[in-house]
Amino acid sequence: MVSTPGGAAAQPESNGSGTGPQPVISSTRAQQYLKQQRWLLFLRHATKCSAAGGQCICSPHCQTARQLLSHMSKCRDRECQYPRCSASMKLLTHHQSCRDARCPVCGPVRQAILKQTHPPPADQMGSPPGSKDGGQPPLKRPKVASPDSTTMENGDGPVKVESKEVIKAVKAEAPHGGGVRNVKPEPVASDVKHPGNAIVKHESGPRIGKGGKPKIVGVSLTEIFTIEQIKQHIVSLRQWVGQQSKSKAEKNQAMELQANEHACRLCAVEKLFFDPPPIYCTSCGIRVKRNALYYTTAVRETRHYFCIPCYNDVRTENVELEGLTYAKSCLEKRKHDEEQEEAWVCCDKCNLWQHQTCALFNSRRNEGGEAEYTCPECCMAEMESGERDPLPVSAVLGAKDLPRTWLSDHLESRLTLKLRQERSERARKEGKSHDEVLGAEGLVVRVVSSVDKRLEVKPRFLEIFQEEDYSTEFPYKSKAVLLFQKIEGVEVCLFGMYVQEFGVESAQPNQRRVYLSYLDSVKYFRPAEVKTPNGEALRTFVYHELLIAYLEYCKRRGFTSCYIWACPPLKGEDYILYCHPEIQKTPKSDKLREWYLTMLRKASKENIVVEITNFYDFFFISPGECKAKVTAARLPYFDGDYWPGAAEDMILQLQQQDDDDGSKQQKKGKIKKPPTKRATKTAAQAEMAINASKDAQLMQKLGESIMQMKEDFIMVHLQHTCTHCRNFILTGCRWVCRPCKSFQLCDRCHEAELKLDERERHPANSKEMHYLTPIEVTDVPPDTKDNDDLMESEFFDTRHAFLTLCQGNHYQYDTLRRAKHSSMMVLYHLHNPMAPAFVVTCCICTHDIEPGQGWKCETCTEYDVCNGCYYKEETRKHPHKLVQHPSASERNAQNKEARQQRVQQLKMMQELLVHASKCCTTQCQYPNCGDLKRLFRHGMTCQKRVIGNCLHCKRMWSFMQLHARSCKQADCRVPRCKDLREHSRRNQLQMESRRRAAVNEMMRQRTAETAGRKQ
């Protein structure tokens, strides 16, 4: 119950969803609601009133309300006895979180504010809400009659306040909670942060716009647009670039023609839904189809999914997975048919609604929901009347403002040079000047991640080569490169690639090698239809030049080779950029392979690439005079590549075959005798022989698997290789045979060649004498040193993390309008690494929390509550202190020292976690050791656990997850560490398995088609 200022108690009643008929309200309750409405409006007036004390023209009691607000800004007592403090706080909290358009308190308040600036037509002034069509008023614009006057009852007596004056003071408030819909509710008062810490900003704070809201510039990218750019943007929105389906296009066009008052003012369509993120079965790794049923575990723990076949295969009452046991009866059955509607935003000038995507609205900059937003149409009107100028482009940080590196400068400079040359050549061919032909403009290349990693060798493969000193891990540097192009005033991310660089510090066979891990693009490049003089699309020319520039950069640094697996993504899946446009077809493997080979042939002409071969021909066969050993130990071992995962499966099959053969011999009675002393002496040689046999078997099975698709595994040589040993020639001389252009030897093999009889020398089996000419090798640097600094980014360091960021926030690229908004948000995350990557969710009501709003626990990293739940009994039981979420300005104030302090705190927590997991002393003096061990014991006995929303279990779970991300100890004793790492490893293996399975299925289909044509 909420006590009104006049002493009456009333609780706003609503049906919770804004639908259905309005409930019958008694006259007494109606009066209580009316008092609450007037009190909310008067508090809103008091927060904005700038009149000196006692001189407010609206009411002499304005100063009393301002004193109340000042007290509320410091009050921490939920049951405060200060007059009207507790009741006002609860009323404001309800109004802040209320989403119901039919709420008898909040609806009229918002409509009263809306009515001043957007009055209804004259013929509707006297009609009740919704009477025009007999239906329900729209949720976005509730049409509810507002009171004509506002009365506030004070301890000194009633005060009459005319509603027109109050409305005038608060006319900037957007309808339905401040203008953002389908994402989060917005506070009623922009300058009041509550509960318990209501901050009233009168003398200082951000600049205030005309509408009374803080002047946060750049909340929408359209603020930097000119009139022409705004018009172009609106026209582009209604073209639905990226959609190929005629049915969808016709549907959108029909919706534009029938656009009503509820439709978006920019795209003229009302409801638009995002694509649902893909779901994969944790057990079998198969993707759950759309509209299919599945089972899932709790939200707060590591989420697991089970498809129906895997669920039914479990005959017991429990499901065991990664060290945990889940009761089948506790798993939640769901249907994969969830739909997420695009969010809305309301203009503070015209009070009309647009999709946030159409408006290029950045909700992360909408601090507390109080940033003033002006829609593109109002911006145009103000610019045409001279009231407004576009913001400078520098007001919103873009791709050019990202840090430059040696690599990005090299890629960008070469790309600019080659585009200028191509444009001049095209102009000369068409008989025009350089400026008369279209060219690619506004291109920006940036390296967004550069981190050191270590690739662990898989255990079964490592066991085969344990006697050959094979390295257990390979250090490498992972880099992510993005290409942006300014399209219609917006920098759109068009191209991305992840690469792995194994330098001289990495052991053989990975030393000085580069792996092109993933490459992805979306088809929005401009100009779209222009072709180069050679007939290829200008888009292809640009992407080829980027890759050639990267190969050139690698060659200059001393890398010897680059490996490319030409593997298109599976249907419905993405490599880097989430949700591709319908107009972009996924190429088949032969088309993709030819795309890469065309690029490599260009690089060969510039002598960047010296040889193009394939993985099978170079490592699995020894043609001609090659003397290199055919062994799996020579195969480059890359993260996510085809053969390492396939080799593990094959080794397991070989082991199972050996076990089956051994069991058959035992059944026949052929039991081996115990080994003698003499046999024991030769055990090491025997084991090496067995491993050598396994190596040969593995190479045979791998060769059979790869041979059919060997052309897809492309080997690019940046340096010359010795014909005999197949090693790269990096120093000394390269001994070249002039008649045989493909024959060349390193110094060591040349010396061995000279020691042979003349009949055994090159050329073999020939009576001719070929002389070898030395060419000194001087252009290969002794080290592969990288001059660029490390660039760590939590959500860009791996393509899976980046893809997860896009999926979780619906950063899609299926249409140009969404690609613009998604790219804008990607740039926001790159420029604001300290900002949360995902919207924070309340742990109690699970609603999203506005940036700068809500409360968080200083101890429990995963505990956040919204302002509405801060007063609930469940929050009061939380054992630790809650502090308000920092605003954007406060986050920006966190300097390098503060971030280092946070890193140090996390490091200390990790050390405490490792210590407590090993400590057996009951009276340990290590700080907080006892507390953490008690937390461990609680987790072992708790019945609620994370599933039941246990706060202690949540805290412990967050600690363990944080530890598992960085732990590399094989025998780590921290609880659940191995399980969590196994979960991450399983996800990686499942992605690799799906990729291999798709390739194998494609090869089976290709073989079947070939056999069918022959018949």
Other residues' Cβ atoms within 10 Å of the Cβ of residue 10:
21
In angstroms, what CA-CA distances link 571 with 393, 577, 695?
A: 39, 14, 35
The pLDDT, as a whole number, for residue 826 is: 96
The pLDDT, as a whole number, for residue 506 is: 96
3-state secondary structure at position 498: strand
3-state secondary structure at position 263: coil
- Sort 109 into a burial class: Cβ within 10 Å, 0-12 / 13-18 / 19+: buried
Mean pLDDT for all residues in the chain: 78
Per residue in 200-220, pLDDT tens? 333 333 444 544 555 677 899
Q: How far apart are CA 467 and CA 167, in angstroms?
A: 84
In angstroms, what CA-CA distances link 770 with 567, 625, 725, 732, 773?
A: 42, 14, 19, 21, 10
Answer yes or no: is pLDDT of 922 > 60.
yes
Radius of gyration for the alpha carbons in the chain, expressed in angstroms and rounded: 34
Answer yes or no: is pLDDT of 738 > 50.
yes
Contact in structure between 842 and 864 (CB atoms under 8 Å): yes
Contact in structure between 523 and 241 (CB atoms under 8 Å): no
Range name among 12-16, 176-180, 498-502, 676-680 with the lowest pLDDT average: 176-180
* Helix H or strand E segment including 997: helix 977-1014
The pLDDT, as a whole number, for residue 873 is: 65
Answer yes or no: is pLDDT of 905 > 70.
no
Higher per-residue confidence, 75 vs 453? 453
| In 118-162, alpha helices (H) | none
Per residue in 851-865, pLDDT tens? 566 777 766 655 778
Which residues in 639-780 belong to E strands, given as ranges?
713-717, 733-737, 744-745, 772-776
| In 258-337, alpha helices (H) | 308-313
HSE-up of 940 (CA within 13 Å, CB side)?
7
pLDDT band for position 818 (cuts 50, 70, 90): very high
State both tokens at 352.
Answer: 């009309």
Answer yes or no: is pLDDT of 147 > 70.
no
The pLDDT, as a whole number, for residue 119 is: 45
Q: How far apart are CA 227 and CA 193, in angstroms?
A: 37
Handedness of CA 641, 643, 644, 646 (dihedral sign): positive
In angstroms, what CA-CA distances link 638 with 456, 473, 744, 984?
A: 10, 11, 28, 18
The pLDDT, as a whole number, for residue 202 is: 31
In angstroms, what CA-CA distances link 746 with 620, 721, 867?
A: 21, 8, 72
Specify the amino acid at residue 980.
L
Answer yes or no: is pLDDT of 503 > 90.
yes
pLDDT band for position 771 (cuts 50, 70, 90): confident
- Residue 565: what are its φ and ψ, rounded to 5°? -100, 105
Q: How far apart are CA 212 and CA 585, in angstroms?
A: 49
Q: Which residues contact 569 (CB under 8 A, 6 or more apart)?
A: 520, 575, 586
Range name among 28-42, 548-562, 605-619 with the lowest pLDDT average: 28-42
Rounded percentage of the chain residues whose pLDDT exceeds 70? 71
| Range with the largest mean pLDDT of 128-137, 158-167, 523-532 | 523-532
From the list 938, 972, 967, 965, the residue with the least C-alpha distance to 954 is: 938
The pLDDT, as a whole number, for residue 927 is: 79
The pLDDT, as a whole number, for residue 246 is: 54
The pLDDT, as a whole number, for residue 195 is: 32
- Preceding peptide of 581 cis, ω within 30°: no
Range name among 505-514, 646-655, 719-728, 870-879 with the lowest pLDDT average: 870-879
Cα-based angle 819, 823, 828 (whole degrees, multiple of 5): 150
Q: How far apart are CA 221 and CA 357, in angstroms?
A: 11
Per residue in 623-673, pLDDT tens? 878 889 999 999 999 998 999 989 998 999 998 887 776 666 666 555 555
Contact in structure between 868 and 845 (CB atoms under 8 Å): yes
Higher per-residue confidence, 794 vs 195? 794
Answer yes or no: is pLDDT of 807 > 60.
yes
CA 978 from centroid of its chain's CA atoms: 25
Handedness of CA 989, 995, 999, 1001 (dihedral sign): positive
Per residue in 822-847, pLDDT tens? 999 999 999 888 666 556 667 776 56
The pLDDT, as a whole number, for residue 207 is: 44
Q: Mean pLDDT throughout 364-392?
A: 88
Higher per-residue confidence, 272 vs 913? 272
Q: Which residues contact 928 (CB under 8 A, 6 or more apart)?
A: 912
Per residue in 267-326, pLDDT tens? 989 889 998 888 888 888 788 888 899 998 765 456 788 899 988 888 888 887 766 677
- Residue 933: what are its φ and ψ, rounded to 5°? -65, -35
Per residue in 93-130, pLDDT tens? 787 767 666 788 887 887 776 654 444 443 433 333 33
* Helix H or strand E segment including 158: strand 157-162
Range name among 19-28, 241-250, 399-408, 973-982 with the lowest pLDDT average: 19-28
Q: Mean pLDDT throughout 355-364?
A: 93
| Range with the largest mean pLDDT of 111-120, 677-686, 905-914 | 905-914
In angstroms, what CA-CA distances link 165 with 41, 45, 353, 472?
A: 10, 9, 26, 76
Answer yes or no: is pLDDT of 24 > 70.
no
Locate tokens 């100890």: which residue? 969
Range name among 53-57, 449-453, 546-550 with the lowest pLDDT average: 53-57
The pLDDT, as a whole number, for residue 605 is: 96
Q: What is the 3-state secondary structure (H, E, C) of 566-635?
A: CCCCCCCCCCCCCCCCCCCCCCCHHHHHHHHHHHHHHHHHCCCCCEEEEHHHHHCCCCCCCCCCCCHHHC
Answer yes or no: is pLDDT of 564 > 60.
yes
Contact in structure between 275 and 812 (CB atoms under 8 Å): yes
Specify the amino acid at residue 390.
P
Q: How far apart are CA 745 and CA 734, in angstroms?
A: 6
Q: How far apart are CA 363 and CA 852, in angstroms?
A: 11
Rounded percentage of the chain residues whose pLDDT exceeds 90? 36
Contact in structure between 722 and 751 (CB atoms under 8 Å): no
Answer yes or no: is pLDDT of 183 > 70.
no
